[in-house]
């Protein structure tokens, strides 16, 4: 394809717990060389746990890069060799204590296509049963149930800034609206 950029060389810059940074050289469609800085990521999941009452189980979490607490749908990073569905069930349980009787896949979300290869797999979790949350050692969350319609309004008003949460909430709203019309 004419828009393809051919990788020519790759240099590892940093290999951390989450971020794996590379400085790559690519050949552009016109034959010239250019540099691309790419962060490699193992991938993640984002789950919208929807109760039978139409509420979503959300988490409040401090996000260091922005120095504030954000309201988000439960989410987390894939472990090595873990499938997205297994990860979604694990993260849902860890962050909210919930188990889903039904897990519906809503597709992939690419959060920052210019520099990051992370793919976030989006799910709706239904038929929820609850136990205790059991977060990671370095993870501190507050859980809150919020009506789906309220969350849609918060996304549209700009109150919810997290991209994966915006996309996931709006997709669930549209899916639920289509079900009601069918």
User: Which active-site residues does the annotation give?
Assistant: 137
* CB burial readout 128-156, b (16+ within 10 A) else e: beeeebebeeeeebebeeeebeebbebbe
CA gap 109, 126 in Å, rounded: 20
Alpha carbon of residue 142 to chain centroid? 18
Answer for the pair 168, 46: CB distance below 8 angstroms, yes or no: yes
Q: How many CA atoms does the CB half-sphere of 131 hold within 13 Å?
A: 8
Determine what percent of the chain falls in helix, strand and coil, rounding each to the nearest 5.
25, 45, 30
Answer for the pair 6, 36: CB distance below 8 angstroms, yes or no: no
Instruction: Specify the 3-state DSSP secondary structure of 157.
Output: helix
Q: What are phi and psi of 132, to 5 degrees?
A: -80, 145
Q: If you count them, how many residues does the chain have?
A: 182
């Amino acid at each position: 394809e004419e828009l393809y950029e051919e990788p020519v060389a790759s240099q590892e810059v940093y290999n951390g717990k989450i971020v794996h940074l590379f400085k790559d050289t690519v050949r552009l469609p016109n034959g010239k060389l250019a540099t691309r800085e790419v962060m490699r990521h193992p991938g993640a999941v984002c789950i919208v746990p929807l109760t039978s009452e139409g509420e979503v189980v959300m988490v409040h979490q401090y996000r260091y890069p922005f120095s504030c607490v954000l309201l988000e749908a439960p989410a987390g990073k894939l472990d090595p060799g873990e499938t997205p569905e297994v990860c979604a069930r694990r993260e849902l349980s860890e962050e909210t204590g919930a188990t889903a009787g039904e897990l519906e896949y809503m597709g992939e979300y690419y959060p920052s296509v210019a520099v990051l290869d992370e793919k976030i797999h989006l799910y709706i979790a239904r038929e929820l049963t609850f136990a205790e949350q059991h977060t990671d050692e370095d993870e501190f969350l507050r859980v809150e149930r919020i009506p789906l319609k309220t969350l849609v309004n918060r996304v549209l008003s700009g109150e919810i800034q997290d991209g994966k949460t915006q996309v996931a909430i709006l997709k669930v709203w549209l899916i639920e609206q289509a079900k009601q019309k069918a």
